[in-house]
């Protein structure tokens, strides 16, 4: 794999072609972002920006030749690649995964706030757009009340922003792992990931947001809450990796965690977020590691 990566990094046109091609393949978009992150980490932000720009030109050309509209594709790639390039630039400059994680949280809050400015009534707008989805659920016998659908659509901006933030971080993580391989520093990213924390200040903000959302409500806090839940879930996953790698806990525990994320997301998400939250306040890594 490292030989292939070195071959790719030797020529920018190879980077451009692969970034564009990977972005077109289902479920492989994170590899496209990862390659951009690798370029930023290895060659600098300037070259990664040029690579992203050329890849977008290439994607627009493909869309035009095939008779499609290039705008939606460029919008999606811009949303996915922009944050990755910013976070990769920060990681290259400051060498702190914690800082990058915290900046990602701030970007997520800003992004969902902007979405709510443009979409002040998401329930009604998404209710119209998602009409076919509602019909499919009804046809499958999974009938939901209009009130339930409105509740889902109301927090959809926050849920989607949290997921986009998670995917962008995943792309950055892929690029970091590849960088470690090229620099023959295997395990460096793993050590950084196992110490990753949201931090006391942002955790305090998340506490205020979640308590306000539960007790008072409000469109903004209900959506921002989901951004924090997704990121605290990621910290909970970091905690799980720490306990297995450095705390002496069995690998089976980590297997169960990932199995739950795939099969029981509705249980795993809040559970990991809770452990991530408690880790920020009470230092669960050291306390649980001593009991492993």
Tens digits of per-residue pLDDT, 169-222? 999 999 999 998 888 777 789 999 999 999 999 999 999 999 999 999 899 999
Q: For residue 254, is pLDDT > 80?
A: yes
Contact 202, 183 (CB under 8 A): no
Cβ atoms of residues 202 and 103 within 8 Å: no
292: pLDDT strictly greater than 60: no
Which among 65, 161, 55, 58 has a CA at the least distance from the CA of 107? 161
Residue 29 pLDDT: 86
Calculate mean pLDDT across residues 259-276. Answer: 93
Note whether residue 91 is domain-resident. Answer: no
Report d(CA 70, CA 57) in Å as an integer: 9
**pLDDT one-digit tens code per residue, 111-135:** 999 999 998 888 888 877 777 777 7
The reply to whether 157 falls in a domain is: no
Rounded to 5°, the CA angle 69-116-143 comes to: 80
| pLDDT band at 18; cut points 50, 70, 90 | very high
Residue 172 domain-assigned (yes or no): no
Q: What is the mean pLDDT of residues 143-160?
A: 85
Torsion angle, CA of 24/25/29/31, rounded to 10 degrees? -120
Mention every residue, 6+ apart, whose C-beta is less than 8 A from residue 280.
197, 198, 199, 200, 203, 235
Global pTM reads 0.92
Task: Kindly state whether residue 223 falls inside one of the protein's structural domains.
Answer: yes
* Nearest Cα to Cα of residue 104 among 167, 16, 31, 180: 167
The answer to whether residue 228 is domain-embedded is: yes
Whole-number percent of the chain with pLDDT over 70: 96
Q: Which residue range forms the structural domain that includes residue 240?
A: 195-292
| Cα-Cα-Cα-Cα dihedral sign, residues 230, 167, 49, 75 | negative
Handedness of CA 262, 267, 273, 276 (dihedral sign): negative
Say if 234 falls within a structural domain: yes
> Is residue 134 within 8 Å of 149, Cβ to Cβ?
yes
Asked if residue 254 is part of any domain, the answer here is yes
Instruction: Work out how many domains the chain is built from and give that number.
Output: 1
The residues, any chain, with a CB within 8 Å of residue 122's CB and separated by 6 or more, are 116, 153, 154, 156, 157, 219
* For residues 49-73, average pLDDT: 90
Judge whether 268 lies within some domain. Answer: yes
Helix (H) or strand (E) segment spanning residue 20? helix 12-24
Counting runs of H as helices and runs of E as strands, what totals does the chain give?
15, 0
């Amino acid at each position: 794999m490292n030989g292939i990566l070195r071959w790719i990094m030797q020529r920018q046109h190879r980077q451009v072609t692969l970034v564009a091609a990977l972005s077109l393949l289902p479920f492989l978009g994170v590899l496209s972002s990862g390659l951009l992150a690798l370029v930023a980490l290895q060659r600098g932000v300037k070259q990664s920006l040029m690579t992203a720009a050329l890849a977008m030109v290439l994607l627009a050309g493909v869309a035009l030749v095939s008779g499609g509209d290039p705008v939606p594709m460029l919008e999606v790639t811009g949303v996915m690649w922009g944050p990755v390039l910013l976070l990769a630039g920060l990681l290259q400059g400051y060498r702190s995964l914690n800082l990058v994680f915290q900046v990602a949280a701030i970007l997520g809050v800003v992004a969902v706030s902007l979405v709510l400015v443009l979409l002040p009534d998401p329930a009604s707008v998404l209710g119209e757009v998602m009409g076919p989805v509602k019909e499919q659920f009804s046809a499958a016998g999974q009938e939901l009340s209009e009130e339930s659908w409105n509740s889902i659509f109301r927090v959809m901006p926050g849920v989607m922003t949290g997921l986009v933030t998670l995917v962008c971080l995943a792309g950055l993580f892929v690029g970091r792992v590849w960088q470690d391989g090229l620099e023959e520093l295997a395990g460096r990213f793993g050590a950084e990931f196992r110490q990753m924390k949201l931090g006391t200040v942002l955790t305090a903000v998340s506490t205020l947001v979640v308590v306000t959302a539960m007790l008072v409500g409000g469109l903004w806090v209900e959506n921002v809450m989901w951004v924090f839940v997704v990121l605290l879930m990621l910290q909970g996953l970091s905690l799980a990796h720490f306990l297995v790698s450095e705390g002496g806990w069995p690998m089976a525990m980590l297997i169960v965690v990932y199995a739950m994320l795939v099969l029981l997301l509705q249980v795993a998400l809040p559970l990991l977020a809770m452990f991530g939250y408690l880790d920020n306040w009470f230092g669960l890594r050291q306390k649980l590691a001593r009991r492993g």
